[in-house]
Amino acid sequence: MFRSVMTLLVLFTICIVSAELMAQGERGGVASTLDTIVVTSSRGQESLREVSSHVTVIDEKQLDIIPFDTLSGILRHEGFHIRDYPGQGTAAVDIRGFRTATVGNDGGLGGRVLLLVDGRPAGTGNLYRIMKSNIETVEIIRGPAAVQYGTAAMGGVINVITKKGQGDLSVRAKAGFGSFSFNDQTIGMDFRQGPVDFALGLYRTRNNDIEDGNGQRLYNTLNHGIYTGSLNIGYNFMDDRQRLGMTAGFYDNNYQGTSGSHSYGPITPNDIGGSNVVNKNTSFDFLYTGANERGALSWQTRYYHITDKYESHNSHRRDLRPYSTDTKMDGIQAQMKAAFDTFELTAGLDWLKYATERFSQYDLPTRALKNYKMSNYAAFFIGKLKFLEDSLIFNAGVRYDNFENDATGNTIKEHNVSPSAGIVFIPIDWLKIRANYSKGFRTPTPTEVAQVYQSGATLYLGNPDLSPEKSDTYELGLDFNFDYFSSNITYFYTKYKNEIRSGRRLPPNISTYYNAPGESTYAGFEFGANLYLGSLLGQEFELEPYVKATLYTTREAVDATGKKVAGYYMPHSLAAGINFDYPKYEFSSNLNVSYFARAYEQNFGYNYGAKTVVKAPAYTLVDLSLKKTLFSIGEKSKISMDVAVRNLFDEYYEPILDYAGQGRSFYVGITYSYN
């Protein structure tokens, strides 16, 4: 059925494009979407029309109407498959068969999709730790970005760009209430006064135990308060060509219950039994950016420090701590860009050092903290050539990484070279043709190399002989951009080898990490379309139906023996909906439908019988949000209201097999804004 839907969508796109081609000949079209400025693909500002990879941009206007505050909720709304556990404050995203890390994975570098904040590692792969209270834009590269960002950027990169003060004083304060005793508060402020820019965002929320779509209470899913904030201050000088900046951020979930699965978790108020977790992430950055008077040369240097903590506690006792990780990351980024009429070159150096202290009650020979360390030195070059009045663009890049892993007491060195190449051809202003090749990799983490702990009769060991994971991805895409319609379609093909897995059994009673034999293959299509009916019909309002979909044509993984098996990720997903915006009445709304197909999952519980692998049920989530200005106070102040219904039809679903997601919930928020 899904293939039929996809076929209809493609036919619909062809019809619309044909109609637009005829209309464009009469009125003259302007390709507006391609003029969007992005920064993630080349680590510097460039027009989206010059990017050869598939990049998704979620701007501040889109973020404002999406009825979710966490990055995980935002991406699920966009059609990305999110794997999250109810009440545990952990969430990962799948992109092209790869996913981010969640907790205890060496600052997020144990995943295969890399999470960034303002272009540097977030220090975590857990999407639940990023809130939208001070986000300006989210940029997503689908496919490897190893040349720009190094290890773990195999399936893609998610770059969260925070706000920066740019104009007159703007203030916003919000308080909201919802189902399951949910409440949240947001405070934000930004401005530019003379040479100083300032932006601040603070957010707090808490809730009681939630229910799934069957009305079953998921006990011990409450959180006692999540606190998060972001600060960005800058001093601009020399005609705003130079800037000294400082940013800081924090996330603290205080103390949060974990429900567990249906098979193992609590099912009655008197059978709490589950553990509780504490998640914390703090960071600060010092940044210097500059350019010469003509703008042909620009440069950027950054130092950042990140701490990321995770603790798991028995029941409600904070003094019992069976497992914890404490990761500290220090990094330096330095780069320079030379931009001329037909040629651009960016060159840079990256340095990263991190140490993870891990405590487990199962660690041997004692229950002391284990300190795992790794450092990374890298150099990269990214070049771009433009021909035919910027309608034919070639880009290429290469990166060299040197890793030193000190986890075992003996230095283990790894080297890696990552190339990429792409081409963009714009034969007419409404059509962009792009092709891209990129190589991705993930170096073994210190935990995978050197862990030592025992559970029951089994001894769990690291493997110092692990090889880096590597992937090769090819993609071909078309982007259509008209006055009233935009669409894109991308085909991708990935070969993936040396996947690092746990669970290899060695006698007597030893389990270790290993590189999976053989290659995995992931291939498929990504599709998107937006139609601006309000503008097309000459109305004062905007009515924008949209669709975004991913369809895998091949998803072959390998088992421990090298035999081809189905990959454990979503075979296809779709998000479709309608945005409505009526500026005259200061009203906007969004109706969104997200569909996630049946996917193969490992069965760790009992709800699906004795099979080790089962096909998890498909599910569809419908979300509705409304935003309306109630009244104005003077010329600059106003009071507005947000109303949202999440999971409108109370669908029962399992984002991870045997773990139910939240049922229908309601939300009402009141916002005061001054600008």
* 10-residue stretch averages of pLDDT, the chain, 675 residues long: 45 46 41 77 92 94 91 94 80 91 77 95 90 91 95 95 92 96 94 96 92 87 88 96 96 79 60 70 96 92 94 63 82 96 95 85 57 90 95 97 78 90 95 97 88 79 90 97 93 95 85 91 96 92 96 87 75 94 95 92 69 84 97 93 96 88 96 94
The secondary element (H helix, E strand) that includes residue 298 is strand 297-313
The secondary element (H helix, E strand) that includes residue 7 is helix 2-27
Phi, psi of 382 (to 5 degrees): -130, 120
Phi, psi of 663 (to 5 degrees): -75, -160
pLDDT at 27: 38
What is the C-alpha to C-alpha distance for residues 94 and 627, in angstroms, rounded to an integer?
30
Phi, psi of 10 (to 5 degrees): -65, -45
Strands 510-515 and 458-461: parallel
Per the CB < 8 A criterion, the answer to whether 476 and 435 are in contact is yes
Domain total of the chain: 1
pLDDT at 430: 92
What is the C-alpha to C-alpha distance for residues 501 and 470, in angstroms, rounded to an integer?
14
The secondary element (H helix, E strand) that includes residue 239 is none
pLDDT at 286: 97
Closest CA to 673 of 169, 134, 143: 169
- The number of beta carbons lying within 10 Å of the beta carbon of residue 8 is 10
The secondary element (H helix, E strand) that includes residue 9 is helix 2-27
Q: Which domain holds residue 665?
A: 2-674
What is the C-alpha to C-alpha distance for residues 439 and 401, in angstroms, rounded to an integer?
13
pTM summary value: 0.92
Per the CB < 8 A criterion, the answer to whether 500 and 512 are in contact is no
Exposed, middle or buried: residue 26 (CB in 10 Å: 0-12, 13-18, 19+)? Answer: exposed
Helix, strand and coil percent figures for the chain, each rounded to 5: 10, 55, 35
What is the C-alpha to C-alpha distance for residues 325 and 103, in angstroms, rounded to an integer?
8
What is the C-alpha to C-alpha distance for residues 484 and 481, in angstroms, rounded to an integer?
8
What is the C-alpha to C-alpha distance for residues 111 and 125, in angstroms, rounded to an integer?
7
What is the C-alpha to C-alpha distance for residues 166 and 649, in angstroms, rounded to an integer?
41
Exposed, middle or buried: residue 269 (CB in 10 Å: 0-12, 13-18, 19+)? Answer: exposed
Q: Is 143 left (phi over 0), alpha (psi -120 to 50) or beta?
A: left
What is the C-alpha to C-alpha distance for residues 670 and 425, in angstroms, rounded to an integer?
47
Q: Cα–Cα distances in Å, from 271 out to 275, 315, 439, 458? A: 12, 10, 49, 29
Closest CA to 78 of 99, 56, 96: 56
What is the C-alpha to C-alpha distance for residues 149 and 382, in angstroms, rounded to an integer?
12
Give the CATH number for residue 459.
Answer: 2.40.170.20
What is the C-alpha to C-alpha distance for residues 60 and 166, in angstroms, rounded to an integer?
14
All residues at 6 or more sequence positions from 38 whose CB lies less than 8 Å from its CB, including other chains: 45, 46, 47, 48, 51, 55, 57, 139
pLDDT at 2: 43
